Structures are given as structure tokens and as C-alpha cells.
Chain A
Amino acid sequence: MNTPSNLKYTKSDEWFDPATGAAGITDYAQSQLSDIVFVELLVDEGEEIEVGKPIASVESVKASAEIYAPAAGKVSAVNKGLSDAPETLNSDPYGEAWMIKIEGGAAGEVMDAAEYEKYCEGRSH
């Protein structure tokens, strides 16, 4: 499981980069969903969002999930190319498959990488 140390993580498996404001889903989340075939971003550029607001909807072959904002602030960018390449959520969740950037992002309740790894281990059934 890949959990870059510079990122912050939520209990609902989103990551947030305090340096750039970027957010997306974690490696753990993509592996649980497995083959992702559809993603729809639910927020637009310029929108003010609060922590916990649904920002994207993801569907895989066997499951679906809502993705929630890990931080509050103004949406400064959305990854427009993502909906045409949902498989990148599986191959590069922290890179190419970023979802949105949140300007002045005040993170909600987040964990650091070590805490998140421990949290994931505790859940594996």
C-alpha cells in the first residue's frame, strides 16, 4: 500500500496535499474498489466547498463510492481529463488522478501517513 508521507488522509479514504491543495482518493480506496470504470466530478471551478461535501462519484465493475471534500475552501481547479481516463484512479491515484484543488484549503479531521496506514490495517477483513 502506497501512502506518501507528505499527504494528509481522511477516514473516508481521501488524500489532501496541504502544499498544493490537491485532493483525490487513496491507494487503499482504489484497491478496494478495484477496476474503476467511471468517475464524475460533482463540483465546479470557483465553487466554495465545505469539508465532507461530495466532490466526486466513482463506479467500478463491482462497487460505487462517493468521494468527500477533505478540506474546505474554494475549488481552484478540477481535473477535467479524469472522466475520460477513470482507469488512472487505479494506476496513479496520487498523481495523474488528482480530482480537485482547493485554494486556501482548511483541512478537516485528517491523519498523517503512519496513522492512516494503521487505520487501514485495522480495517482489512
Chain B
Amino acid sequence: MATIVEPTIFELSSPGRRGVTMPASDVPETALPPKPLLRSDLPLPELAEVDVVRHYTRLSKFNYSVDDGFYPLGSCTMKYNPKINEDTCRLPGFLFTHPLQPIETVQGNLALMFEMQEWLKEISGFAGVTLQPAAGAHGEFTGVLMMAAYHKSRGDSKRTKMLIPDAAHGTNPASVGMLGFTVVTSPSDSRGNVDLKALEAACDDTVVGMMLTNPNTLGMFDEHIEDVIKLVHGCGGLMYGDGANLNALLGIVRPGDLGFDVMHFNLHKTFSVPHGGGGPGSGPVGVGPVLADFLPAPLVGIIEEGDEDEMAPLYGFVTPKQSIGRMKAFHGHFGGGLVRAYTYIAMHGPDGLKDIAQYAVLNANYLQAKLRDTYKIPYDRICMHEFVAEGRFEGSDVRALDISKRLMDYGFHPPTNYFPLIVPEALMIEPTETENKDTLDAFADALVKIAEESKSQPELLHNAPITTRFGRMDEVKAARELVLCCWLPEGYDLNA
């Protein structure tokens, strides 16, 4: 039997225990619906409030978070999450407004959304923005739907191929798969740019477009980005920008100015919305003029202009002419996403945003410089906000995974492993702008020390982590036995 470190909420339950109680009913009693419509049992836990608080507090201590320390997870932009955001997003006027309230009663919300649309347009150089998508992948799907709708509206039905670089995030091909398009992989050249020759050969009148992350997942800004876009546009395709790495571009260059037609933002990466242990994120999408009419409905617009003195404009909802429809039941991740990101942008202003990108890029280049002599950097030039090193050494069986696990013993969260796929044993490192020089030095020292350990005591690395509360997991057991919940309703047998 495995040792139980922390019982589940069901194991902590004891019949008859009470937590928060509800007031007694203040209305005359009505009979319940007929018995066949009622459930016979409600198999949920019974605990006192203190039991619940201690349980989840103990669980929280098993987590490593940005508030604990350095979290250089490549392509995830694990920057510090300002505490003021937590207060602004919980203002009662935001917390307690219903999504279907008449617009006259929610002008504060709509003004915030309108300004957010305008700000994101200005930051990215796009003509229109939808705030509806719930996450980056959701934004991507929105973007691909718009690209498909654009071609369809022109009666151009033979376009079924999407060009996607070999270094792309898995969500790119998956988004394309949801529309039944085929993926054509586009190779990178030796400097980490899109291979222009190969791209030219792939460009024809069956191309829907290209999905490109720039800077890409190697942390490289494509040195021929305008040529790439020209080629795709030249064959009638549209250019999708994966905004995962926008942190490197704030105030540096606007994707819309480069010629991108559509891009999703990750408010949870670039604009400090906390990652929440895997969500909720927020993935607004910006589009150039050719796609503006296809944006999801509704957008926030000005219904009645204000005047310069007193009258504020009246904000409301508008539907783009050829909208692809609705991506989500209501208006997007308003409270948890938009309010936090709005607060963040408002506090940075144009110069502060440029500082973010500059220092994110400085930190990444500084770490790259400090590690260059110890770890192979396969695409070694000035990087943007992240870079990729190889987590392997000549004549050693130590792998990127071992290095990552050992970093936990030194008190750091590991970088992203095994991605992008084009670098063997990849360690993808993104420090972000919110780390100081001491932290970066300590992290570099730890990685150099681990490289030494790979020679002197490789077993230590294979067994790492050893100082954490939990060790390496048996993932085969999890997948084969599939225990997916801790208390099943009567009559169910998972092994049957």
C-alpha cells in the first residue's frame, strides 16, 4: 500500500460534520418534485470549515509557484503576478455584475472592454480585436475559423493546406485539425529562421495560410520575417501569428505592421494574468483589415457618441458583418482576465511596456551567455525572451529530464523539456523581465554545477529530485490502472 501524504477530501469526511450552514427558509414550503425525479443519494463529503482550510492549505504547500521562486518555463512567460491585480479584479462592481444585464447598468465593464480592445489594437498594430476567446488555444481556433471563413466568402474552396513550422506549438496543428485542414510542415534553416526556399516551394493556391510564432519557440526573431509574409500573401494565403511570445515584442515591433493578418494574445503570459495552476487564461485575438468583418460576435462598440464636456459615450455590443459566430457563452474572461490585464497595461504605459520586452530579452541573453560554455546552444545568436539549450553531454547518459529534476533540488522550477522537437534533449529557458541578476546568477551556477555532477555522480541526477516532498512518478501505473476519482457512486466498478 502506498503511503498517504495527504488524505483526499473524501477520506477526511465524517458523516454528520457541518461546514458553512445556510439560513432557514423564509417562505411557505412547497412539496418537492415527484420522487422519480429526485436523486436517491448525494455522495459528497462532510467536513467542518477548519478541516477544509487546513486540507487545502497543506495541499498548497506541495506546489511550487512564481511566488516561491524562479520559474523559467520556456514559452509560458512565468512572470511575477502583481498583487494589485488581485484586488482590482475583485471590486464588487466587477464581481457581481451579470453577463445579461442591460448595457445601461454595466457601462464601467463595457468601457473597460472597449478600452482594452483599443489598447490591444494599438500594441499589436491590428484593426480589430475580440476579447471573447478563453485561452491561447481557443484564440488560435478562433483565428483559424476566421481564415477559413475569409476564403469561403471569396468562393475559394480549394484551400486546405496550413503551413506550420517544425518548431511550432502542438496547439497549432491541433487547431487546424479541428477544421479538417491538412498540415504541411515547414522546416527551419540553420539560423532558426523559416527556410525560405522550402516555403516558396510549398506556397501555392491550395494554401489557407501559415501559422508562425515569432519570435519562434527557439527564441529567435525571424531575420526574414517580411519575406516570409510576402511569400504567403503572394499565394493568396493569410498569415497567423501565435502570440505566445509577444512579451519580447512590446514596444519593439507590432505584428500588424509586419503584415500578420491575425494573432492571439495570451493575457496570462504577456499581461500578468496569473496561470492559476493551468487556467483560466485569456486569449483575445487581433486581426488586420481583411479579417475584421469575420470577428466573433459580439464586440464592444460605441452605440452613442459622447461629447467633450460631460456626456460619456454609451457603450454596447456590435456584430461584425460576416462574423464566424460566438466562441463562448458570454463575453470572455472578463473578471479574471481582462480586469487584471487592463490594470497591468494601465500601470505600464507605453514606456513601461517597452521596458518589459527589453529586460525580458536582456535576461534571456544574459543567461544564454552565462551557460554557453557549459551547454550546447544549437541556434546561437542574440535571442529574444527565451533560448534553447541541449540538455545532454558527450559520453554521458544524463538527459534533459534528469537535469530538470535536479534543478528542483536547487530550488528552481525546471525549464520546458523536450520542446521544440527539432532540438534533441531540449531545455527551453525563459527567465522573464521580473527576475533580478542575483537569481539569474544562482540559476546559471546551479546548471553549471549539475553539468559537473553529470560527470561525477550521474546516479544522483537519475534519481533527482531528492529534497522535494515527492519523488519521480510512476506514469505507466497511472495510465494503465486509470484511477481517475477517489469515491465512486454505488454500483460502479471501474475495473469491470
Contacts and interface: CB of A to CB of B under 8 A. Distances in A.
B418 to A, nearest CB: 9
A29 interface: no
B309 interface: no
A125 to B, nearest CB: 8
Count class of interface residues, chain A: under 10
Nearest to A37: B479
A62 B417 CA distance: 13
B305 interface: no
Contacts of B424: 125
A87 interface: yes
A35 interface: yes
Interface string A56-75: 00000110000000000000
Contacts of B475: 61-62
B381 to A, nearest CB: 25
B476 interface: yes
B83 interface: no
Nearest to A60: B479
Interface in B229-247: none
B61 interface: no
Contacts of A62: 475
A76 B224 CA distance: 54
Binding site of A, secondary structure by majority: helix, strand, loop or mixed? loop
B154 interface: no
Contacts of B480: 35, 37, 87
Nearest to B424: A125
A68 B462 CA distance: 36
A125 B423 CA distance: 13
Contacts of A61: 475-476, 479
Nearest to A59: B479
A100 B479 CA distance: 25
Interface in B442-496: 475-476, 479-480
A91 to B, nearest CB: 13
B410 to A, nearest CB: 26
A61 B478 CA distance: 9
A42 to B, nearest CB: 16
Contacts of B479: 35, 37, 61
A94 B476 CA distance: 22
B180 to A, nearest CB: 15
Interface in A8-56: 35, 37
Contacts of A125: 424
A124 to B, nearest CB: 13
Contacts of A87: 480
A61 B476 CA distance: 6
A96 B476 CA distance: 21
A62 B480 CA distance: 13
Nearest to B480: A37
A9 to B, nearest CB: 25
Contacts of A37: 476, 479-480
A46 to B, nearest CB: 26
A25 B78 CA distance: 41
A52 to B, nearest CB: 15
Interface string B274-311: 00000000000000000000000000000000000000
Nearest to B418: A62
A35 B479 CA distance: 9
A10 B12 CA distance: 55
Point out which of A37, A62, A125 has the most chain B C-beta atoms below 10 A from its C-beta. A37
A114 B118 CA distance: 65
B78 to A, nearest CB: 24
B442 to A, nearest CB: 31
A1 B49 CA distance: 59
Nearest to A87: B480
A125 B479 CA distance: 27
Contacts of A35: 476, 479-480
B484 to A, nearest CB: 13
A87 B479 CA distance: 11
Point out which of A35, A87, A125 has the most chain B C-beta atoms below 10 A from its C-beta. A35
Interface in B42-64: none
Interface in B390-438: 424
A62 B475 CA distance: 9
A83 to B, nearest CB: 14
Nearest to A34: B476
A69 to B, nearest CB: 20
A95 B444 CA distance: 51
Nearest to B478: A61
Interface in B22-52: none
Nearest to B475: A61
Point out which of B424, B475, B479, B480 has the most chain A C-beta atoms below 10 A from its C-beta. B479
Interface in A71-125: 87, 125
Nearest to A35: B476
A37 B478 CA distance: 10
Given A37-B480, A61-B479, A87-B480, 4 more contacts: A35-B476, A35-B480, A37-B476, A61-B475
12 contacts: A35-B476, A35-B479, A35-B480, A37-B476, A37-B479, A37-B480, A61-B475, A61-B476, A61-B479, A62-B475, A87-B480, A125-B424
Interface of B: 424, 475-476, 479-480
Which 10 pairs show the lowest CB-CB distances between chains A and B? A37-B479, A35-B476, A61-B479, A61-B475, A61-B476, A37-B480, A87-B480, A35-B479, A35-B480, A125-B424
